[in-house]
Structure 1
Amino acid sequence: MIRVMLVDDHEMIRAGLRTIVGAHPDLEVVAEAADGLAVLRDLEGLEVDVVLMDIRMPGIDGVETTRRIRLTRPPEQLRILVLTTFDQDDNVLAALRAGADGFLSKGAGPSELTGAIVQVAAGARALSSGAVDAVVDHVVDQRVIAVDPALASRFTELTPREREVVGAIVTGLDNAQIAEQFFLSPFTVKTHANRAMVKVGARDRAQLVTLAIRAGIHPQ
Structure 2
Amino acid sequence: MIRVMIVDDQEMIRVGLRAILAPEPDIDVVADAADGFEALQQIVGLSVDVVLMDIRMPGIDGVEATRRLRLDFPPEELRIIILTTFENDENVFAALRAGANGFLSKGIGPTELVAGIVDVASGGGALSAAATAALIHHVAEEHRPAVDAAMVDRFSVLTPRERDVVIAIATGRDNAQIASDMFVSPYTVKTHANRAMMKLGARDRAQLVTFAYRAGLSA
Calculate the TM-score normalised by the size of structure 2: 0.84
CA deviation string 1:29-87 (max 9, x = no partner) = 12122222222232233332222111122232211222233333333443322111120
Q: Could you tell me how far apart the structure 1 residues matched to 2:143 and 2:5 are?
A: 39
Deviation at 1:193, TM superposition (A): 2.3
Residue equivalent to 2:91 = 91
The answer to whether the Cα contact below 8 Å between 1:89 and 1:131 also exists between their aligned partners in 2 is no
Output the CA distance in 2 between the equivalents of 1:123 and 1:194: 8
Q: Following the alignment from structure 2 to structure 1, what is the Cα–Cα distance between the partners of residues 8 and 98?
A: 18
1:84-143 CA-to-partner distances (Å, cap 9, x unmatched) read: 112015233211122222211112222322222233333433223233223211221134
Partner of 2:5: 5
Matched with 1:186 is 186
Q: 1:98–1:145: structure 2 CA closer, same or farther, 3 Å change rule?
A: closer
| CA distance in structure 1 between the aligned counterparts of 2:144 and 2:5, rounded to whole angstroms | 38
1:146 deviates by 5.2
Tell me, in whole angstroms, the C-alpha distance in 2 between the residues paired with 1:186 and 1:122: 14
Q: How many residues align?
A: 219
Greater displacement, 57-66 / 183-192: 183-192
- For 1:170, the equivalent position in structure 2 comes to 170
Write the letter of the residue equivalent to 1:112.
E
Go from structure 1 to structure 2 and tell me whether the alpha carbon gap of 1:198 and 1:25 turns closer, same or farther (over 3 Å shift).
same
Q: Quote the residue 1:66 is aligned against.
A: 66
Query: How high is the sequence identity, in percent, across the aligned residues?
Result: 66
Over 6 Å off, 4+ runs: none
- AA aligned to 1:16 is G
Superposed counterparts of 1:90-109, under 5 Å: 90-109=90-109
The two structures, once aligned, show a CA RMSD in angstroms of 2.5
TM-score with structure 1 length normalisation?
Answer: 0.84
**Contact kept in structure 1, 2:124 and 2:194, CA below 8 Å:** no
1:123-168 per-residue CA deviation (whole Å, 9 max, x = no partner) reads: 4332232332232112211344353344324434544443332222
Match of 1:16 in 2: 16
Q: Which structure would you say has the larger Rg?
A: 1
For the residues of structure 2 that align with 1:200 and 1:69, how far apart are their CA atoms?
24
Q: What is the letter of the counterpart of residue 100 of structure 1?
A: A
CA displacement at 1:213 relative to structure 2: 2.1
Query: In structure 2, what is the Cα distance between the partners aligned to 1:124 and 1:159?
Result: 19
Tell me how far 1:175 sits from its aligned partner: 2.0
CA, structure 1 residues 47+143, in 2 after alignment: closer, same or farther (shift >3 Å)?
A: closer
1-side partners of 2:48 and 2:191: how far apart? Answer: 29
For structure 1, the 5+ residue unaligned runs are none
Cα contact 1:92–1:135 (8 A) shared by 2: no
- d(CA) in 1 for partners of 2:158 and 2:124? 21
